[in-house]
Amino acid sequence: MTEHLPALQVVIPLMAAPLCALLRPGRIAWMLAMTACTLCLLIAALLLERVLAEGVISYAMGNWPAPWGIEYRIDTVNAYMLLLVTMIGAVVMAFARPTLEQRAHLSKRKQPWFYTTYLLCLTGLLGMIITGDAFNVFVFLEISSLSSYVLISIGRDRRALTAAYQYLIMGTIGATFILIGIGFLYVMTGTLNMLDLAARLPAVADTRTVRAAFAFLTIGISLKLALFPLHLWLPNAYAYAPSAVTAFLAATATKVAIYVMLRFFFTIFGAQFSFETMGLDAILLPLALAGIFSASVVAIFQTNVKRMLAYSSVAQIGYMILGISLVSVTGLTATISHLFNHALMKGTLFMALGCVSYQIGAVRLDRLAGIGRTMPWTMGAFVIGGLSLIGVPLTAGFVSKWLLILGALERGWWPVALLVLLTSLLAVIYIWRVVEVAYFRPAPEDRKIGEAPLVLLIPTWTLALANLYFGLDTSLNAGVARLAAQSLLGVTQ
Amino acid sequence: MNPEALLLLALFIPLLSALFIAANDAHPNRRELATLLASLLLLGVVLSLLPVVASGARPTVDLFEFASGLPLRLSVEPLGMLFAAVAALLWPLNSLYSIGYMRGNQEQHQTRFYVCFAIAIASAIGIAFSGNLLTLFIFYETLTLSTYPLVTHKGNADAMRAGRLYLGILIGTSIGLLLLAIIWTGLIAGTLEFTPGGILAGKMEGPTVAILLALYMFGIGKAALMPFHRWLPAAMVAPTPVSALLHAVAVVKAGVFTVMKVVVYVFGIDFLAVTGASQWLIWVAALTLLLASIVALTKDNLKARLAYSTVSQLSYVVLGAALATSMGVIGGSMQIVMHAMGKITLFFCAGAIYTAAHKTEISQLDGLGRVMPFTFGAFLIGALSIIGLPPLGGSWSKWYLLMGAADTGQLVMIAVLIISSLLNVAYLLPIVGRGFFAPTPAHDPDTAHHPDPHPASTADNQHATAGSPPPDGNRIHEAPLACVVPLCLTAFGCVLLFFYADPLYELLATIVRTTP
Amino acid sequence: MQILGLYNYWIFIVLMMCGFYVVISRGNLVKKLVGLNIFQTSVFILYISMGKIIGGTAPILTETATVYSNPVPHVLILTAIVVGIATTALGLALVVRINEAYGTIEEDEIHAQSEDEAL
């Protein structure tokens, strides 16, 4: 049984998805979806444990041996990512049900479909992570993308529809670019298996086709991960999607895209080709810095808190790309660590906002007046997430900030280190705008709202406490992240 | 009990008491009893560590690994012991005083106040006992965050603005500069441990030493070196016990303590003396010292004047560190203790005056000393200690600082120190003079229109709120007992410190002596 | 000669650019989808032509044939075609919903309405 865990990781949510569509009422469907998510989390934890103990797991899908068949290949990097995605998937799934049922957001008939789509999205994300086959990445990418377009369009605001449409156009262009890139690679090597590609590419590396493939893949993936200036789809999509969807996508979708980027640049093309021959770091570094800076500044001026956090996500993606552009073990560790930490903090923040909008139906900054007193637990979680975002010690965010600055200083990049620190002060400003409104402005007299229900608070606080826990125990988000970085760079301990 | 366990206990007593206080929101008596008990317990624990450290032992506990080879480490050495002792000694007094003040002024959110206070104390203990820079930084930040709700306690627009400045400067400098300095240090030295004699000697040279020192000195915003001193006067909107916490017990003391610790255990005074990297710092400290004193002269608000006085007094410590001589370090470290005792007395008095008479401006204090003799007497003692006159504790730190300045041949600095003492006299003593010798105003013009709503209940005047101040000076009595007792005790402490400065000197001399 | 000989790749490039241009330049949401379709179709042609081997037959084992076309890209692109259809269907469904919500499918008019909402 245990040797089939890699397949089950993807198959369980894939099978549960259509079943959910058949089940009525929504609550039963939710129970199935929740079970599937929990099982996924369990499997991911088992896989990580096995990878750490025994090394890389290779699984031949359908018993077709690689490189002909599709290989599922799990090393430290993707075992870590699997755990991250399934963890967020499970927590947000627990959070999702009450927000859907509230004020007839989705009719009873439609609720099971939400869980179906959600599980499909999860399937796609997990598939992208686990697979060792380049084309398979594209297929799973489209599964997750298509379902995330649907999830975003569920938003209550009609602007959710245009946001989903915009994302669909941009996302499809990105995916098609990736498809072209993979096609070119296939033309030159005749293989799609990642390891096989990595072995055969150096022989043909100095051709225009391979370079074109590299360019197409870079742009395509950058679109999916919302690298500045290809991030335009993100703020609207996050701002108008339902809270649970935003929490889920913000914490996972862009992270998985970054994982794909790491895979292609480091495993398939190899760090030497990507960074020395093609000079990718010279492009990524300025884009990352520009993204961090501009998105942080824009975030300060937002009136919609969800949108503000969406821009903050663009900035945070910049930090991760910055780590990649350092091309060192420490830099890469910072990226991989921040993938995890950012998922925790943004998950917390968006879920706390979800609690707010559940109670008061809006997330405009001025409507948040006084909720620090009326919803102390919700805002408590928000503050923890915010502190983590700023990178205050004892939160997860501090770990990644520490690593990133260490990485920059190792390379002797003074101004970069300084900029990273200065921009985290911008985060102080936009987080504190919310805190001040919530705690210092009096609540309107006529509003009678209380704390969010426990079913929402429990998942929110689970992630909030995870922020604190992983700020103390860094064996996963720094220790394993370092192992992952070493394996990507091919450095042996 | 072995010293390692005591060390952990010192950190966890305030933390656990915070939990207990939070759980007893509905029972003020139980809540405040818990605060008092915890503070006394902490005092006992810290004092029982004192002989251990004095005998030369350095108990060390690793909490957990932050990253490989980078543990969160608690370790006691004399300097930290001293700071911990100050914090632990003043916490019970401050708690007692808080109870009197908070009840007397019927403040809101008292539970939050006590919880944050306990966490702040825990952070201060953590800073005092931190074994490496990372640990220190972590507790430094928790101290900032836990005091933020205290500074903004009143919850109005003023408090919000003050909080903004407070957080902006403290987080800004610590994340923007201090963190950078720490990571840089780690990269160069390969360690973040506090080591006698420093960890940087021989690892770097030239102007970069001065740059790193600048990152540290300005990064430690809590030391209120100009131009990063603005948060301290702004934070005056907070209730007086909080000001006492900020100025005497924990926050600024944590700042100058960090400065001392960095200079002694990271750079090493010999290294600084050889490279001359701290020369510029002497001048910045001297400038801050004089400018802040001059600004203090212009302030009529009592607490604002005291705040600028703190900015100035802190620079004595920084100056001592910057002199990079053993006398300078001893004088500076002693100043941490002496100033704490003196300044807490002054703040307690300011709070007592506010609680009893609702006066905040110095010009309103005429004749008040005659009705509040204990308060003003204590104020006089505290002021004299701050000025540095014998027989009060403050004279010792000033004396050693002068010796330190003389050691380096910095005649200008000797002049600066003397001028500054004169300025101290000029801004502190008139307050006492007004209280005792100025004639009492016939009646208070502000309150003349409001006849006393409860003429029968004179006892209630102690609990008067801002809305119904006592109608005239004759009705004013001493503040509640819980306020007056602590301030008398701290004033007495100032005297005591003069006579018992020798053990302090002995303790501190070891940190300079162990320098290889 | 070589340039002309690679005409199938030229078609791919031209189609791709046409499609891309339509997506960017048109304000009508349906036309954008049409452009997106052309864009995707061009990639199908890329994959199909890369699997073709001149003189090769369909990859069915017979005794007469010795040269076969590579079936893998064709199979791959079947998947991509399915994805393309799903994308188009979803896109059109969104357009229908947008039309219901805004009463228009012109991008600038929708934008104007959204601006009003933001104020």
Interface residue A186 vs chain C (CB under 8 A)? yes
Minimal Cβ distance to C29: which of A146, A165, A179: A165
Min distance B167 CA to chain A CA atoms (Å): 9
Inspect the interface and report whether the beta carbons of B65 and A474 lie closer than 8 Å.
yes
Q: Tell me the percentage of chain B whose pLDDT exceeds 70.
A: 92
State pLDDT tens for residues A255-298: 999 999 999 999 898 888 888 888 888 889 999 999 999 999 99
ipTM metric: 0.93
Tokens of A306: 């969800």
State pLDDT tens for residues B278-300: 888 888 888 888 888 898 888 88
Give chain C's domain count. Answer: 1
Residue A226 CA to residue A145 CA, distance in Å, equals: 13
Q: What is the pTM of this model?
A: 0.88
Residue A283 CA to residue A277 CA, distance in Å, equals: 13
Question: At B57, is the secondary structure helix, strand, or coil?
Answer: coil
Bigger pLDDT: B435 vs B1: B435
Interface residue A150 vs chain C (CB under 8 A)? yes
Residue B123 CA to residue B141 CA, distance in Å, equals: 8
Residues whose CB is less than 8 angstroms from the CB of residue A442 and which lie 6 or more positions away in sequence, other chains included: A369, A370
State pLDDT tens for residues A348-375: 999 999 888 888 877 788 888 888 888 8
Residues spanned by the domain of B148:
3-441+472-513
CA distances from A58 to A28, A74, A78, A194 (A): 35, 6, 12, 12
Interface residue A58 vs chain C (CB under 8 A)? no
A432 vs B contacts (CB less than 8 Å): 164, 167
Residues spanned by the domain of C9:
2-118
Interface residue A153 vs chain C (CB under 8 A)? yes
Bigger pLDDT: B495 vs C116: B495
At position B270, the amino acid (one-letter code) is D
Dihedral of CA atoms C86, A257, A123, C70 in degrees, nearest 10, equals: 60
Q: Do chains B and C touch (3 or more CB pairs under 8 A)?
A: no
What pLDDT sits at residue A315?
Answer: 92
Quick check: is B449 in a domain?
Answer: no
Q: Tell me the percentage of chain B whose pLDDT exceeds 90.
A: 1
C79 vs A contacts (CB less than 8 Å): 135, 139
Residues of A in CB contact (< 8 Å) with B are 387, 390-394, 401-402, 405-406, 409-410, 417-418, 421-422, 424-425, 428, 432, 436, 439-440, 472-475, 478-479
Give chain B's domain count. Answer: 1
Minimal Cβ distance to C23: which of A142, A164, A173: A173
Tokens of B297: 């002269």
* Range A155-170 burial, b when 16+ CB lie within 10 A, else e: beebbbbbbbbbbbbb
Quick check: is B452 in a domain?
Answer: no
HSE of B490, CA atoms in CB hemisphere, 13 A: 40
State pLDDT tens for residues B77-120: 888 888 888 888 888 888 888 888 787 777 778 888 888 888 99
In this prediction, residue A104 has a pLDDT band, given cuts at 50, 70 and 90, of low
Helix (H) or strand (E) holding A74: strand A71-74
Quick check: is B77 in a domain?
Answer: yes
Tokens of A291: 């993204």
Q: Tell me the percentage of chain C whose pLDDT exceeds 70.
A: 97
Mean pLDDT of B204-226: 85
In this prediction, residue B513 has a pLDDT band, given cuts at 50, 70 and 90, of low
Whether A353 contacts A305, CB under 8 Å: yes
The CATH number of whichever domain residue C22 belongs to comes to 1.10.287.3510
Q: How many CB pairs under 8 A join A and C?
A: 71
Minimal Cβ distance to A169: which of C32, C102, C114: C32
Whether A310 contacts A250, CB under 8 Å: yes
CA angle centred on C108, ends C103 and C110, rounded to 5°: 35
Inspect the interface and report whether the beta carbons of B175 and A424 lie closer than 8 Å.
yes
Whether B255 contacts B188, CB under 8 Å: no
Whether A321 contacts A462, CB under 8 Å: no
Quick check: is B252 in a domain?
Answer: yes
Q: Which of the residues in chain C have pLDDT under 50?
A: none
Inspect the interface and report whether the beta carbons of A153 and C97 lie closer than 8 Å.
yes
